[in-house]
Amino acid sequence: MHWTGALILLLFAVVCASVMLVLLHLTRAGRILYERIPDRPRRRLFLAAVSFFVTFLGVRLLVYAIVHHAGPFGWVMVGGHHIHHLVWGILLLLMVGYLELAEFGTGSSPSSIFASRLISICFGIGAALTLDEFALWLNLSADAYWTRQGRESIDAVILFGALLAIGSWGAPLWTRRTHPPSHPA
């Protein structure tokens, strides 16, 4: 059976989001994050950062497997054209942006908090899919991915990932919150 890159990316994104949400809601690690990182905006930035780095690593491994014919993976092709994964990232970022503008997930109910966290995870996934092909947008050449020009994508990922990390992993991760939490994780 031949698995397309789109199916693999979709499964990967769903599994990543599910695992992160389960860890956040049902484990001691989630309780530690709840105790150490304030919910908005730091915990949302933390979730976006983790999903960003995990997705970037996963996509790089998937593309490497496709290029080297390892496993049953293949490119997403529509009408003879390769659809790059930055397209899926842009679509996901547009969806997340719309949900943010519509103030979806901004309340304090458990379902709203869940939606807020899911939106944060989807943002990280979309940003990774898009920035992984930054060299493609900059050079308008599909060949830029594994060339010296492809280093521009790595630089963009490092810079944006650092921005997310600075916003979330700073001092709040290493110190206990002094005020009681307003709602459970």
User: What distance in Å separates the CA atoms of residue 101 and residue 184, rounded to the nearest whole number?
Assistant: 25
Judge whether 79 lies within some domain.
Answer: yes
Judge whether 183 lies within some domain.
Answer: no
> CA torsion 163→131→129→74, rounded to 10°?
-150
Judge whether 34 lies within some domain.
Answer: yes
User: What distance in Å separates the CA atoms of residue 115 and residue 43, rounded to the nearest whole number?
Assistant: 13
Judge whether 179 lies within some domain.
Answer: no
pLDDT of residue 61: 87
pLDDT of residue 26: 79
Coil, helix or strand at residue 53:
helix
- Name the helix (H) or strand (E) containing 32: helix 28-36
Q: 3 forms bridges with which residues in the sheet?
A: 73
Structure tokens at 3: 């698995």
pLDDT of residue 142: 66
* Spans in the chain with pLDDT lower than 50: 1-2, 185
Q: How many residues does the chain have?
A: 185
Report the predicted TM-score, pTM, of the whole model to 2 decimal places.
0.75
Coil, helix or strand at residue 128:
helix
Q: Which residue range(s) make up the domain with 28?
A: 3-174
The residue written with tokens 């991915």 in the block is: 145
- Amino acid 109 reads S
Backbone angles phi, psi at 4, to 5 degrees: -80, 160
Judge whether 181 lies within some domain.
Answer: no
Judge whether 37 lies within some domain.
Answer: yes
Cα-to-chain-centroid distance, residue 6: 16
Judge whether 16 lies within some domain.
Answer: yes
Closest Cα to residue 9, out of 71, 63, 80?
Answer: 63
Judge whether 59 lies within some domain.
Answer: yes
Which residues 6+ apart lie within 8 Å of 22 measured at CB?
A: none
- Residue pair 58/14 in contact (Cβ under 8 Å)? The answer is no
User: What distance in Å separates the CA atoms of residue 15 and residue 19, rounded to the nearest whole number?
Assistant: 6
pLDDT of residue 128: 93
- How many domains does one find in the chain? 1
pLDDT of residue 175: 55
